[in-house]
Structure 1
Amino acid sequence: MAHRVLHFFADFFVYETAKSVVVKSWSVGIINRVVQLLIILYFIGWVFMHEKGHQLRDTGIESAVMTKVKGLGKFNNRVNDVADYVVPSQGGSSFSIITSMVITANQTQGRCPETDPKFKCTTDDDCMAQLGSNLGNGIITGTCLNNTSGTTGWCEIQGWCPAEDDNVTENPMKEVENFTIFIKNSIRFPMFNVTRGNFPSSLNQSYIQKCRYNPVDHPFCPVFKVGDILRNINQSLDSITDKGGEIGININWKCNLDYNVTYCNPNYFFTRLDAAFKNSVAAKGYNFRFAKYYQSEDGTECRTLHKAKAIRFEIIVSGNAGKFNTVPFLINLVTALTSVGLATVFCDIILLNFHKGADEYKAKKFEEVSGVVSESANNRLYEGSQMSIKALEKSSNDSGTFSIGRQESHSPPNQ
């Protein structure tokens, strides 16, 4: 037991130092350089993939959006302006342009026949089965109101009467194709205290009134034509005005602040947000209802109900800013350069396990030296080292370096 403990301490208190072995092997040398080159190329690619070394980034973009729609259109035999078809009217980042509308005028609280086809009836029993249902235009009372022919009728409801009939066909407002949307977007990157707008302040009023956004000819124009947006996303005007839909206008800010801040400008992208439901029967398009209330001359509360089909626009702002930061870049650089040493580890694995000269390499690379060397041993080591130097002076100029392989033979000089 004491011997094992002593042996443990003897093995623990040792010192290891690096020993250089020069291996003159074409195959291993090529592998070493190729692995080093791949590591360096990987680092260069990594730098370019991460914004050319920009490590200090700000994704906490602050944004404000103001919109304004212009254009005149016609549906329901009347000319409509912005106040008629834009909802809500505040001009925020989300708004709708109404393309058609079913209007039910002069509704009052009372009892009347339902208009929804699923509430057709022939007897009161048909309506009693749905007594209390509130899935239609009102609450079912349980009474079947026959039509004038005395055959199929409609269940009676209690609610706003007359009930809305949204099965009527309305001609949508096709003029929406020529409507324009003015977008004013200001953003700020708080980390860098950089504030930008989506168009230069140098643009005059005359230019803004006439220009239409085009990514090539007018990239800074803040006025977008609805028809251009629809064509950009390959959408039919007829389909979206008949059923309604949702359009996304994406404003993306990607800024490299190592350059002048004037190069920090947005890119615009357009998407059909409800594309996932294009084949849906129950939830296709976009519509909503709203009512306008008033009182009749006798004081009865009345309302006009509107069911609107519309194109809903969502302004989506995103972005990030980057700026070169020395400290993380140097850390990554040192890490990459240190990783070049992996080539040595890889080549050692080959030499120690797979190379035909593995035993010779092991003998040269790993050598145990006692901490106590006698004087005579020192002399022998000294003499041996002198002989080694003379024998290998063509292969190495470092007394701590061994050379293996590809040694040239030399004939002894004439005596």
Structure 2
Amino acid sequence: MRRITRLPLLSPRQWKRRLVYWCGAIIVAAIAILFARAADVAQGLFTAALHGHAALALLIVPAGLAVSVVLTRRVFPGAQGSGIPQTIAALHMHDPRAIDGVLSMRVAIGKIGLTLLGLASGASIGREGPTVQIGAAVMHALGKLLQLPRIEMQRALVLAGGAAGVAAAFNTPVAGIVFAIEELSHSFEARTSGTVLTAVILAGITTVAFAGNYSYFGMISAQLDFGASWVAIALCALAGGVLGGVFSQLLVSASRGLPGRAGRFVMEHPAAFAVLCGLVLAAIGIASGGSTYGTGYVQARSLVEGTSHLAWSFAPLKLLATLVSYLSGIPGGIFAPSLAVGAGLGDWLSHLVPGAPVGAVVLLGMVAYFAGVTQAPITSTVIVMEMTDNQRMTIPLLATAMLAFGISRLICRRPLYGALARRFLAAVERRASN
């Protein structure tokens, strides 16, 4: 049985490790803040370009997606997709070269630039998933620089970087910790617990220092009183679980490749396929009046605050736009768009429960769909709770998330990120064996 050697508290090696965690967490938070501001600028540029010229989307979106796919495949392989599956896959890799392939600084730089390009092109993507991969890459790079033992780089650093990325992206420190446990590692190990906690705390402090002590969606006081209005929990859980499960299953199935001629076309002509996806995205955007472009943050916040109502078609169109964006092969996450879909779903379902506060039902729809997609009910609950600074909705949110998770699991048997990570690992192993 292998014994774990504990280093003295004041040993140089121990302080070297602490330095990596502390500096890494601060760097991750700083990058996340700058990334968030750049994402707002990129999305603003797209909105300004379409002002009074909605049909321009038929040119901008396909061109932007095609350029992004070409750069991803030729210059930044490993940067495609959300970034969370790659981070999970890296936790299970044993070949240092394979880990470098998904967590190098080159990949991180490509992830930032290409996600911004996607937002500037109107894609329905988010920056939060990419921030997880970027955070893990920063920690991994620091570990290599200071020549820490391989096990530290492979697990503790990646976990800490991913958790710090979530904490900084949403300004939700508790969600960062829960995300690392529930989604990235599926366990809480004594060896890595202190690492994750320290990284998240420092990332949170850095975020507050530079961006202020804010809530992602502001302070929302909505609550759901016990009684007949709790039927909203069942409605939101059912709808969110079904839609989230279907969305996840479609992504998992598509990750295996399309069948027949369609699959060969995608493999042989990825840029042309991206152009087709861009045309579909532009058509969806025009049909929705522009509401399906980008992260969906503005639409979700307006629904949560109750300052506006969107058409019933917003949720299904935003879901479709997010699906097409992901299938196109460009880098970009699904966190923020999923929250927007859930908010639209809750807003529509609120009409079926007239006795319940609209804001509360919107939050339930948000957590239901998000839990249905990720199949991480605890993380979903904590993220929505922290993003709205609303503890009074904790029990309804948790109940909705758990029910939606169960319903989603009936449709999509494996969690989305775990299934995509396994596909990614299998592809890496095939390349290594050839």
Fold shared by both chains (TM-score > 0.5): no
**Normalising to structure 1: TM-score of the pair?**
0.19
Larger Rg: 1
Higher strand share: 1
**Normalising to structure 2: TM-score of the pair?**
0.18
Higher helix share: 2
